[in-house]
Amino acid sequence: MDKQKVLKELNHALTTEYQAVIQYLTHATIAKGIDSDAVISLLKHIAEEEMKHAEILRERIFWLGGTPTMDVDERTLVKDIKQMLKVNAKAEEDAIKMYKGILKMLNHIEDIEIYEAIEEILEDEIEHWEEFTRLQD
Protein backbone atom coordinates (compact mmCIF):
# COMPACT_ATOMS: atom_id res chain seq x y z
CA MET A 1 0.00 0.00 0.00
CA ASP A 2 0.98 3.61 -0.50
CA LYS A 3 1.04 4.59 3.17
CA GLN A 4 0.71 8.34 2.70
CA LYS A 5 -2.20 7.93 0.32
CA VAL A 6 -3.95 5.50 2.66
CA LEU A 7 -3.41 7.85 5.61
CA LYS A 8 -4.91 10.71 3.62
CA GLU A 9 -7.99 8.64 2.76
CA LEU A 10 -8.40 7.34 6.31
CA ASN A 11 -8.19 10.88 7.68
CA HIS A 12 -10.77 12.03 5.17
CA ALA A 13 -13.00 9.12 6.20
CA LEU A 14 -12.57 10.21 9.83
CA THR A 15 -13.88 13.71 9.01
CA THR A 16 -17.00 12.12 7.49
CA GLU A 17 -17.57 9.93 10.56
CA TYR A 18 -17.42 13.01 12.80
CA GLN A 19 -19.78 14.76 10.41
CA ALA A 20 -22.23 11.85 10.60
CA VAL A 21 -22.18 11.82 14.42
CA ILE A 22 -22.95 15.55 14.69
CA GLN A 23 -25.46 15.54 11.84
CA TYR A 24 -27.43 12.50 13.04
CA LEU A 25 -27.56 13.64 16.66
CA THR A 26 -28.70 17.12 15.60
CA HIS A 27 -31.31 15.61 13.30
CA ALA A 28 -32.49 13.39 16.17
CA THR A 29 -33.17 16.51 18.24
CA ILE A 30 -35.03 18.42 15.53
CA ALA A 31 -37.00 15.44 14.15
CA LYS A 32 -40.71 16.09 14.63
CA GLY A 33 -43.83 14.71 13.00
CA ILE A 34 -45.32 11.38 12.01
CA ASP A 35 -43.17 8.37 12.89
CA SER A 36 -40.54 10.64 14.41
CA ASP A 37 -39.92 8.21 17.30
CA ALA A 38 -38.63 5.52 14.94
CA VAL A 39 -36.47 8.06 13.11
CA ILE A 40 -35.07 9.52 16.34
CA SER A 41 -34.06 6.15 17.78
CA LEU A 42 -32.55 5.09 14.48
CA LEU A 43 -30.50 8.31 14.23
CA LYS A 44 -29.20 7.91 17.78
CA HIS A 45 -28.33 4.26 17.22
CA ILE A 46 -26.50 4.97 13.97
CA ALA A 47 -24.65 7.95 15.52
CA GLU A 48 -23.24 5.55 18.14
CA GLU A 49 -22.00 3.22 15.42
CA GLU A 50 -20.39 6.14 13.55
CA MET A 51 -18.63 7.05 16.79
CA LYS A 52 -17.21 3.52 16.91
CA HIS A 53 -16.10 3.84 13.28
CA ALA A 54 -14.29 7.07 14.17
CA GLU A 55 -12.50 5.26 16.98
CA ILE A 56 -11.42 2.42 14.69
CA LEU A 57 -10.11 4.95 12.16
CA ARG A 58 -8.22 6.97 14.80
CA GLU A 59 -6.53 3.80 16.04
CA ARG A 60 -5.61 2.63 12.52
CA ILE A 61 -4.27 6.06 11.53
CA PHE A 62 -2.13 6.26 14.65
CA TRP A 63 -0.94 2.67 14.19
CA LEU A 64 0.19 3.56 10.65
CA GLY A 65 2.24 6.43 12.06
CA GLY A 66 -0.19 9.20 11.17
CA THR A 67 -1.98 11.83 13.24
CA PRO A 68 -5.77 11.46 13.45
CA THR A 69 -7.45 14.61 12.20
CA MET A 70 -9.88 16.62 14.33
CA ASP A 71 -11.53 18.16 11.26
CA VAL A 72 -15.21 17.62 10.57
CA ASP A 73 -16.68 17.28 7.09
CA GLU A 74 -19.55 19.58 6.12
CA ARG A 75 -22.87 18.91 7.87
CA THR A 76 -26.33 19.29 6.31
CA LEU A 77 -29.26 20.82 8.13
CA VAL A 78 -32.74 19.78 6.98
CA LYS A 79 -36.30 21.13 7.09
CA ASP A 80 -38.31 17.97 7.62
CA ILE A 81 -38.08 14.22 8.17
CA LYS A 82 -38.54 13.42 4.50
CA GLN A 83 -35.50 15.51 3.57
CA MET A 84 -33.63 14.17 6.61
CA LEU A 85 -33.98 10.57 5.48
CA LYS A 86 -33.08 11.45 1.92
CA VAL A 87 -29.97 13.43 2.88
CA ASN A 88 -28.79 10.76 5.31
CA ALA A 89 -29.40 7.86 2.91
CA LYS A 90 -27.24 9.79 0.44
CA ALA A 91 -24.54 10.29 3.11
CA GLU A 92 -24.49 6.52 3.69
CA GLU A 93 -24.36 5.88 -0.03
CA ASP A 94 -21.30 8.16 -0.24
CA ALA A 95 -19.72 6.36 2.73
CA ILE A 96 -20.22 2.99 1.01
CA LYS A 97 -18.49 4.28 -2.13
CA MET A 98 -15.69 5.81 -0.07
CA TYR A 99 -14.94 2.64 1.93
CA LYS A 100 -15.12 0.47 -1.19
CA GLY A 101 -12.52 2.81 -2.70
CA ILE A 102 -10.28 2.46 0.36
CA LEU A 103 -10.53 -1.35 0.19
CA LYS A 104 -9.35 -1.18 -3.42
CA MET A 105 -6.23 0.73 -2.31
CA LEU A 106 -5.34 -1.96 0.21
CA ASN A 107 -3.82 -5.37 -0.24
CA HIS A 108 -6.02 -8.03 1.32
CA ILE A 109 -3.05 -10.15 2.46
CA GLU A 110 -0.41 -7.57 3.39
CA ASP A 111 -2.80 -5.08 4.98
CA ILE A 112 -5.08 -7.69 6.52
CA GLU A 113 -5.74 -5.90 9.84
CA ILE A 114 -6.71 -2.62 8.30
CA TYR A 115 -8.54 -4.35 5.46
CA GLU A 116 -10.76 -6.23 7.90
CA ALA A 117 -11.39 -3.10 9.96
CA ILE A 118 -12.60 -1.21 6.86
CA GLU A 119 -14.67 -4.20 5.74
CA GLU A 120 -16.40 -4.23 9.11
CA ILE A 121 -17.18 -0.50 8.85
CA LEU A 122 -18.44 -0.96 5.29
CA GLU A 123 -20.91 -3.63 6.42
CA ASP A 124 -22.36 -1.16 8.96
CA GLU A 125 -22.64 1.59 6.32
CA ILE A 126 -24.61 -0.73 4.05
CA GLU A 127 -26.97 -1.47 6.94
CA HIS A 128 -27.33 2.27 7.68
CA TRP A 129 -28.18 2.96 4.06
CA GLU A 130 -30.79 0.19 4.14
CA GLU A 131 -32.34 1.55 7.32
CA PHE A 132 -32.60 5.14 6.10
CA THR A 133 -33.94 3.92 2.79
CA ARG A 134 -36.52 1.62 4.40
CA LEU A 135 -37.93 4.50 6.50
CA GLN A 136 -38.36 6.62 3.36
CA ASP A 137 -41.07 4.29 2.04
For residues 11 and 68, the answer to whether their CB atoms sit within 8 Å is: yes
Stretch that binds Fe ion, among 34-42, 43-51, 63-71, 105-113 (CB under 5 A): 43-51
Q: Say how far apart CA 114 and CA 129 lie, in whole Å.
A: 23
Q: Between the CA of residue 116 and those of 7, 11, 45, 60, 112, what are the distances in Å? A: 16, 17, 22, 11, 6
Q: Does 58 bind Fe ion (CB under 5 A)?
A: no
Q: Does 125 bind Fe ion (CB under 5 A)?
A: yes
At closest approach, how far in Å is the CB of 20 from Fe ion?
6
Among 27, 58, 60, 128, which residue interacts with Fe ion (rule: CB under 5 A)? 128
Stretch that binds Fe ion, among 24-32, 49-57, 67-75, 110-118 (CB under 5 A): 49-57
Q: Does 50 bind Fe ion (CB under 5 A)?
A: yes
CB of 2 or CB of 100, closer to Fe ion: 100
Nearest CA-CA partner of 92 in 136, 53, 126: 126
* Termini Cα distance of the chain: 41
Q: Does 131 bind Fe ion (CB under 5 A)?
A: no
Q: Say how far apart CA 81 and CA 83 lie, in whole Å.
A: 5
Interface contacts to Fe ion, rule CB under 5 A: 17, 50, 53, 92, 125, 128
